[in-house]
Amino acid sequence: MNSEIEKLLAELGPEFEKEILRVIPREGVPNLHDAVWYHLDSGGKRLRPALAVVACRALGGDSGKVMPFAAACELLHNWFLVHDDIEDGDSFRRGKEAVWKKFGFDHGINVGDFMSEKVYELILLSQESGLGAEETLQLAKVVAETCSKTAEGQTMDMNLRKENNPSEEAYMETIKRKTGWYFTLPIVGGAIVAKASDEIIRKIREFGLKAGPAFQIADDLLDLTSGKGREDIGADIKEGKRSLMVVHCNKACSPGEKEKLFETLNKPREQTSQEDVLWVKSLFEKHGSLEYAREKARKLVGEAKEISTALPKEAMDILDSFASYVIERTR
């Protein structure tokens, strides 16, 4: 990540925490407030709030006014993870037990619901930080729209997992919906606070519709290398996720391989062995599916950078370093 963002992360990390504490104190109802902080304390790079601040500054805005929104982006990201882990049956997150695993399944749902409301409570405090009513409303709107689209993408993703002949078109539509708007939410919010023009905001969103899917593909690749801090590599395979590698491999492999591939993906996750995972990975390698996915991500990042050239230099630099990060990150 670029050094300005790294510096900001060190400088502003505690500030973001203070913002979240305004709406979720550490002491509160057992199995709720403690559960939220158990999750938040488990890590996360606070990348999203830093992006909101950087974007706001780059576009000439007062970053003091963006702080509640910035912190809300972090909270939002974390509530998605709390519910995602339940939906995907993931027991581990950042090397610790997932919230639902530690606090129970019914609490897990409710903890996420609580966090989702606190996202709005926090954003609606922006007026106290000096933001105008119209901009505050615009921030809330952009969050509601983005989360709705992301939920649609989540459904499409679940639907795709029932599909034994997933097309690249359906895959791309799914990840575009699931990540395309969400990816640039902090930057769009930063731009709103900076009172950027509609044209600039439109370009940032277009950028996200390329860079978001690139991020998702890169993330799927990481699942087979670093394992993203979950139990083992290949959790996506155990979940039966239709990644771009699955989509590509499905077209390239033999009928016998295809049968075994989907048999493995469709097994209940607790029945999928590490041997199964390694077999699928080797099938991907045999047919060049990993390389195909890497190339696709690179291409999307290129297209995203192309879009960013229409933006003011400072904004372009942020988007570009964000795009490079997508490709270069290792965990």
**Cα separation of 158 and 155, whole Å?**
5
* Those residues with Cβ within 8 angstroms of residue 193's Cβ, 6 or more apart along the chain or in another chain: 52, 56, 61, 62, 65, 66, 69, 126, 131, 135, 139
The answer to whether residue 113 forms part of the interface with a second copy (CB under 8 A) is: yes
Q: Which of 134, 295, 306, 314 binds a second copy (CB under 8 A)?
A: 134
Say how far apart CA 181 and CA 86 lie, in whole Å.
Answer: 23
When asked if residue 158 is in the footprint of a second copy (CB under 8 A), the reply is yes
Which residues are CB-neighbours of 23 under 8 A, at least 6 positions away? Answer: 118, 121, 122, 125
- 147 binds a second copy per the rule CB under 8 A: yes
Q: Does 194 bind a second copy (CB under 8 A)?
A: no
Told to check if 110 binds a second copy by CB under 8 A, we report yes
Minimum gap (Å) between residue 183 Cβ and a second copy: 17
Residue 156 engages a second copy in binding (rule: CB under 8 A): yes
Instruction: Determine if 106 is a binding residue for a second copy (CB under 8 A).
Output: yes
Nearer to a second copy, 8 or 160 (CB): 160
Nearer to a second copy, 33 or 258 (CB): 33
The type of residue at 144 is A
The footprint of a second copy on residues 30-89 (CB under 8 A) is: 30-32, 83, 86-88
DSSP 226: T
Which CB sits closer to a second copy, 108 or 248?
A: 108
The count of residues interacting with a second copy (CB under 8 A) is 43
For residue 21, state whether it binds a second copy (rule: CB under 8 A).
no
By the rule CB under 8 A, 137 interacts with a second copy: yes
What DSSP assignment string belongs to 143-209? HHHHHHHHHHHHHHHHHHTT-SS--HHHHHHHHHHHHTTGGGHHHHHHHHHTT--HHHHHHHHHHHH
Among positions 17, 121, 168, 285, the unique one binding a second copy when judged by CB under 8 A = 121
Distances (CA, A) of 298 to 11, 311, 329: 31, 21, 13
Stretch that binds a second copy, among 106-114, 207-215, 250-258, 317-325 (CB under 8 A): 106-114
**H or E element in which residue 92 lies:** strand 92-93
Q: From residue 242 to residue 281, what is the string marking binding to a second copy with x (rule CB under 8 A)?
A: ----------------------------------------
What is the residue type of 1?
M
* Alpha carbon distance 46, 62 (integer Å): 20
Considering only 12, 50, 143, 327, the residue that binds a second copy (CB under 8 A) is: 143
Nearest to 95 by CA among 43, 47, 33: 43
Nearer to a second copy (CB atom), residue 23 or residue 218: 23
CB-nearer residue toward a second copy: 56 or 111 = 111
Q: Does position 293 bind a second copy by CB under 8 A?
A: no
Contact 190, 322 (CB under 8 A): no
Q: How many CA atoms lie within 13 A of 262 on its CB side?
A: 16
d(CA 167, CA 242): 10
Q: Which residues bind a second copy (CB under 8 A)?
A: 23, 28-32, 83, 86-88, 106-107, 109-114, 116-118, 120-121, 124, 127, 133-134, 136-137, 140-141, 143-145, 147-148, 151-152, 154-156, 158-159
